[in-house]
Amino acid sequence: MAFSTVPTPLYPLYQARDGFSTFTGTIVFAVYAVGVVISLLLAGHVSDRTGRKRILIPALGLELAAAVLFLTGTSLPVLLAARFLTGLGVGMITATATAYLHDLHAAHRPGASRQRFEIVSTAANTGGLGFGSLLAGGIAAFAHTPLRTPYLVFAALLLLALAAVALTPETVAERPAAPAYRPQKIRADRTVAGYLAAGFAAFAVFGLFTSVAPGFVAGTLHHPSRLVAGALVFAVFGAAAAAQALTGRLTAHAKLSLGLAAQGLGVLILLAGMYLAGLPIFVTGGLIAGIGAGTLFKASVGTVTALAAPARRGESLAGLFLIAYLGLTVPVIGLGLATQAFTVLTAMTGFVILMLALLAAVASRTLRR
């Protein structure tokens, strides 16, 4: 997950080196998210019957191939291909690894509370995203080859991850007569539909900070430092991970209420920071929005996991992550398109209005139930 956000603080460098616009950076990010969605549709649920390791090991291989591509050049076709491969790998990893962690926790601590699993799995998903940007931004700020060194470091980390997965025991028994393959289906009954929408809303905020926010900080707020960009993304995802760790004892209703309120307040403060050209205000809004998004996502993962049948846990989580990554993609593409026709401030204002409307709809759908 950390590798997937390595390019985030580097986008301004790519833009300066090759003349990419903000919209081009958005397209590069969108190609990654499209890869995730395709992968979730086609392979995110397959580990329920083939085994977790048979999906995770090839997925990590795709991430390594993407790292090699990033090292070969900075042209737009190379970046698009590398980001697409990254997305394919992440789509295979995210639901499979989450289900794998649940299996391992259940086998190691039968009858124990799911709280430990929820903290570890959601912190790995959101904390990893923040760690990738921080490490990449820090390396790029001091390395002589800022567009190569971060990928060399993460290629080594991916090799370690491959070795770790290979040594981890399998948790899914191979089925002698596997059912016919079919793509992922989204099961959105009334019980979980609101939580799927909450996942969409949470990842819309994450998408904002892993795509266009570094460009906003460099341009609108006049802070071009790569370390600042990476630290901002890390702070947002760190706040999300911290909120996930600290809200373990809250009920699902309380998590939803806190998440909806914090995310709504956070995006409003973000907008105020852009209008006032104040980095501290912008960072404060990002932290509060991160707390809200992290809490919403944890409530979604916990509820969907609890309600899923064991034989379909990977499938159910793949459906959740599919909806969430659509949230990572669609709003950000819309924001990128809006910057082509309007000013950045106007485009961001529209994004915030739509986000508040979505949060209100989630509240209406879930809190009444």
- Beta carbons of 292 and 101 less than 8 angstroms apart: no
For residues 126 and 172, give the distance between their C-alpha atoms in angstroms, rounded to a whole number: 25
Mean pLDDT of 78-84: 94
Would you state the pLDDT for residue 352? 94
* pLDDT tens, residue by residue, 176-214: 555 666 666 655 556 677 888 899 999 899 888 877 777
User: Dihedral angle at the C-alpha atoms of 29, 32, 38, 44, nearest 10 degrees?
Assistant: -120
Mean pLDDT of 338-355: 89
351 vs 183, more confident: 351
- Beta carbons of 318 and 95 less than 8 angstroms apart: yes
**DSSP assignment string, 139-181:** HHHH-SSTTTHHHHHHHHHHHHHHHHHHHSPP-SPPPSSPPPP
Q: Give the closest residue to 244 by CA, choosing from 90, 104, 115.
A: 115
Tokens of 84: 């697409």
Would you state the pLDDT for residue 247? 85
User: Which amino acid is located at 317 in the chain?
Assistant: L
Per DSSP, the three-state class of 200 is: helix
pLDDT at position 44 over 80: no
For residues 34 and 39, give the distance between their C-alpha atoms in angstroms, rounded to a whole number: 8
Per DSSP, the three-state class of 333 is: helix
Tokens of 54: 């048979």
Would you state the pLDDT for residue 318? 72
Per DSSP, the three-state class of 349 is: helix
Helices 149-167 and 53-72, packing angle to 10 deg? 170
Q: How far from 58 is each of 43, 161, 165, 175, 247, CA to CA, in Å?
A: 11, 12, 11, 20, 34
Would you state the pLDDT for residue 63? 97
For residues 201 and 218, give the distance between their C-alpha atoms in angstroms, rounded to a whole number: 25
- Beta carbons of 340 and 37 less than 8 angstroms apart: no
For residues 367 and 369, give the distance between their C-alpha atoms in angstroms, rounded to a whole number: 5
For residues 291 and 240, give the distance between their C-alpha atoms in angstroms, rounded to a whole number: 5
% residues pLDDT > 90 (the chain): 32
Mean pLDDT of 224-251: 82
Tokens of 234: 């890390």
* pLDDT tens, residue by residue, 238-263: 898 888 888 878 888 888 899 999 99
Domains and CATH numbers, the chain: 3-170+189-366 (1.20.1250.20)
For residues 199 and 266, give the distance between their C-alpha atoms in angstroms, rounded to a whole number: 17
For residues 312 and 187, give the distance between their C-alpha atoms in angstroms, rounded to a whole number: 11
% residues pLDDT > 70 (the chain): 93
User: Residue 299 has what DSSP assignment?
Assistant: H
pLDDT at position 343 over 70: yes
For residues 322 and 300, give the distance between their C-alpha atoms in angstroms, rounded to a whole number: 13
